[in-house]
Structure 1
Amino acid sequence: MDDLGVTVSAGSYRSTDPEAVHFPHRWSDEGVAVQAAFTGAHLLHLSAAGCVLNDVYREAQRLGVAVAGVRVSATGDFDTDTWVSRGITYSVEVDSPAGADDVAGVLEAVDQVAEIPRAIRAGATVRRVPAAGQE
């Protein structure tokens, strides 16, 4: 299967790649950069990576850990016969003046509270409903 990896970055790690798409971001003045193809698989991985990036900023603030930049990469694979995900893996880079133990504490907290990864891990229900006016 083709590469299904995505990367989101903000702050000092924000990508300047001309192909990156940039969005405003409540946690960083320069916004967030997204590097991903536009397929369902990439968007699934992007939802996990984006949630983790946001939660690094939120949890770092809650724990009093300064963060200058964050980069999250996520990827996964699918069974091409059933199109069922085989899972998602993600990695996080944090630019912080804090010590390694403090940053590790932030990442552990994020892994426990990040909403999208938690929903995916739990096997969230997804169902189609009629569009407005098309009942």
Structure 2
Amino acid sequence: MLAVLVGIAARVTMTRSNSAKGVPMNQFDVVVSAGSLRSNDTHAIQFPHRWTSEGVIVDAAFSGAHLLHLAAAGCVLNDVYREAATLGIQVDGVRVSAAGGFDAETWTSTGITYSVELSSSATAQELARLLDLVDDVAEIPRAIRAGATVHRLRGQRQDQVLPPS
């Protein structure tokens, strides 16, 4: 079995960093893993997964920044399994690490990068082709790259303020 670590600087850049102005940045790291590369961390959370019988392990803190990065990493992990099945590549394990920062002054993203670790008997060339395909088709990274708009609903479906319970 061949284990390949492939680092891909995802082409996800939402804004430029203001770090040149001396504004400190925060780093928000997440890891998702499945199959033979599943984490054994007792603090990680397990979720059911359509591509693996043992589920997916998520190792991330709970903040909006972590969840944004988790969405990208989780999508990449899912798409590795989906596209591998389409290409006829056996994947025994996947671990995706994603990270990025937010400018502490403006709270805009400084971008997201991710890397993928694969356990597979496929050749390094086949796995590189798989990861290139996933980088092109993964829906969440594509939405982030495109700059999706987000709006709070108003009117009939507006926010509700409930009395304390």
Same fold (TM over 0.5): yes
Say yes or no: does 1:124 pair with 2:148: yes
**Gaps (5+ residues) in structure 1?**
none
Q: Is the 8 A contact 2:93 2:120 kept in 1?
A: yes
Residue 94 of structure 1 aligns with which residue? 118
Query: 1:113, CA displacement in angstroms?
Result: 0.2
Q: Is the 8 A contact 2:26 2:103 kept in 1?
A: no
Scaled by the length of structure 1, the TM-score of the pair is 0.95
Change in CA separation of 1:52 and 1:128 when aligned onto 2, cut-off 3 Å = same
In our comparison, the structure showing a higher alpha carbon Rg is 2
- Report how many aligned residue pairs link the two structures: 135
- Where does structure 1 differ by over 6 angstroms across 4 or more consecutive aligned residues? none
Query: 1:95, CA displacement in angstroms?
Result: 0.4
Residues 22-43 of structure 1: per-residue CA shift (max 9 Å, x gap): 0000000100000000000000
Change in CA separation of 1:84 and 1:3 when aligned onto 2, cut-off 3 Å = closer
User: SS of 1:29's equivalent?
Assistant: strand
Partner amino acid, structure 1, of 2:87 = L
**Gaps (5+ residues) in structure 2?**
1-24, 161-165
Superposition RMSD in Å: 1.5
User: SS of 1:4's equivalent?
Assistant: strand
Residue 45 of structure 2 aligns with which residue? 21
User: SS of 1:65's equivalent?
Assistant: coil
CA distance in 1, matches of 2:133, 2:38: 23
Query: 1:52, CA displacement in angstroms?
Result: 0.2
Comparing both structures, which one devotes a greater share of its residues to strand?
Answer: 2
CA distance in 2, matches of 1:14, 1:123: 31
Identity of aligned residues (%): 64
Residue 115 of structure 1 aligns with which residue? 139
- Determine which structure has greater relative contact order: mean sequence separation of CA pairs < 8 Å that are 6+ residues apart, divided by chain length: 2
